[in-house]
Structure 1
Amino acid sequence: MRQRLPVIHSITQHDAGPYRMERLDLEFSNGERRLYERLHPRGYGAVAVVPLLDAKTVLLVREYAAGFNRYELGLVKGRIDAGETPEQAANRELMEEAGYGAHDLRVLRTVSLTPTYMSHQTHVVLARDLYPQRLPGDEPEPLELVPWPLDDLEALFWREDCSEGRSIAALVIARDWLRRHATR
């Protein structure tokens, strides 16, 4: 059974740093009313890049994660700038963070973070046919590059220093896509 979307009676908003916070006055189909809050990030979304060094190896980066005050192993990620497509943003971020560009970029799907209260979306981009190319980035230190075998992602997922959900989801999505398209 598909439920009817709640009626929005009003929306108020205010700035919350890099987000716009909205408060929605909602009425559900059963007559219940509630106030919900949701965050809208400023900008145009983000990319999580799955760069393949070869058919069996993904390139990861190790970078400082302020949220946990540790170094985290994951994918190249970043914001989409005004006027960029997800593919262009993925290639730029790859050049800035890893020192590579890609001739073949493909958006595999778009994933969300906590959709119950946030509208942020991240585009999972598969990057193949890499070539050396560096652009200046905003990282305060060079990121460590870590090649990882695609056949051993399970070991990566159980590491303490690999906990970022977008990286894990993107790697599973890319692995599945590659398996489905291996014979085509």
Structure 2
Amino acid sequence: MNRLNEETIAKEKIFSGKIIDVYVEDVRLPNGENAKREVVKHPGAVAVIPITNEGKIVMVRQYRKALERQLVEIPAGKLEKGESPEITARRELEEETGYGCESLKHVISFYTSPGFADELVHLYLAEGLIKLENKASLDEDEFVEVLEVTLEEARKLIEDKEIYDAKTAYAFQYLTLKQLSEEI
């Protein structure tokens, strides 16, 4: 056994939901002691950075119940069973913004909260946006407002804590670094 690994001794599912499952795991620590871990299992998700031909970022404003407030975010959603991240990215872009895209490039994948969850988010850059005549419908319990912002306006939204989630902050860090590398 690797000197940092934890061996699972027992595992009990304590919640099964529409989006997540929660387990309590008994583990043996590297020092031989036992401990409990609460683990959230998630099917994974995608997030999309949609850039218009005018260089604006298409975003959505939506209410987040866990925070009891609205946030401005890049379009995102969970992977459906058997669906590839690229298909999910195209679907979420269409459902949430009404856009399709000519180009979809995988940027990176990252874990959101590895201390207790296994959610892996696949981040994509969508360019060559096409406004769709008949967009796919949002989920029945999903309500969003679409907005288009410049990178400078996005920085202001971050300062004002309207953009306040990790995936969107990560996306803007990527765009900022991309912009800097193109200027050099």
TM-score by length of 2: 0.84
Task: Note if 1:119 corresponds to 2:118.
Answer: yes
Shift of 1:101: 0.7
What residue number does 1:35 align with?
36
Unaligned runs of 5+ in 1: none
Shift of 1:141: 6.5
Cα pair distance change 1:84/1:61, threshold 3 Å = same
What residue number does 2:70 align with?
71
Shift of 1:84: 2.1
What residue number does 1:26 align with?
28
Residues in 2 aligned to 1:6 and 1:142: alpha-carbon distance in whole angstroms: 42
Unaligned runs of 5+ in 2: none
Residues in 2 aligned to 1:121 and 1:167: alpha-carbon distance in whole angstroms: 14
1:116-155 matches, within 5 Å, as: 116-133=115-132, 134-138=135-139, 140=141, 143-155=144-156
What residue number does 2:45 align with?
46
Which amino acid is 1:33 matched to?
A: N
Residues in 1 aligned to 2:142 and 2:37: alpha-carbon distance in whole angstroms: 40
Cα pair distance change 1:113/1:148, threshold 3 Å = same
More strand by share: 1
Q: Would the aligned equivalents of 1:6 and 1:27 in 2 still touch at CA under 8 Å?
A: yes
Q: Would the aligned equivalents of 1:26 and 1:36 in 2 still touch at CA under 8 Å?
A: no
SS at match of 1:53: coil
Residues in 1 aligned to 2:160 and 2:177: alpha-carbon distance in whole angstroms: 21
1:76-95 matches, within 5 Å, as: 76-95=75-94
SS at match of 2:129: strand
Residues in 2 aligned to 1:139 and 1:61: alpha-carbon distance in whole angstroms: 16
Q: Would the aligned equivalents of 1:72 and 1:163 in 2 still touch at CA under 8 Å?
A: yes
Shift of 1:64: 1.8
Residues in 2 aligned to 1:122 and 1:140: alpha-carbon distance in whole angstroms: 21
Which amino acid is 1:25 matched to?
A: V
Residues in 2 aligned to 1:69 and 1:138: alpha-carbon distance in whole angstroms: 20
Residues in 2 aligned to 1:178 and 1:33: alpha-carbon distance in whole angstroms: 49
Residues in 2 aligned to 1:139 and 1:159: alpha-carbon distance in whole angstroms: 30
Residues in 2 aligned to 1:106 and 1:178: alpha-carbon distance in whole angstroms: 16
Shift of 1:148: 1.1
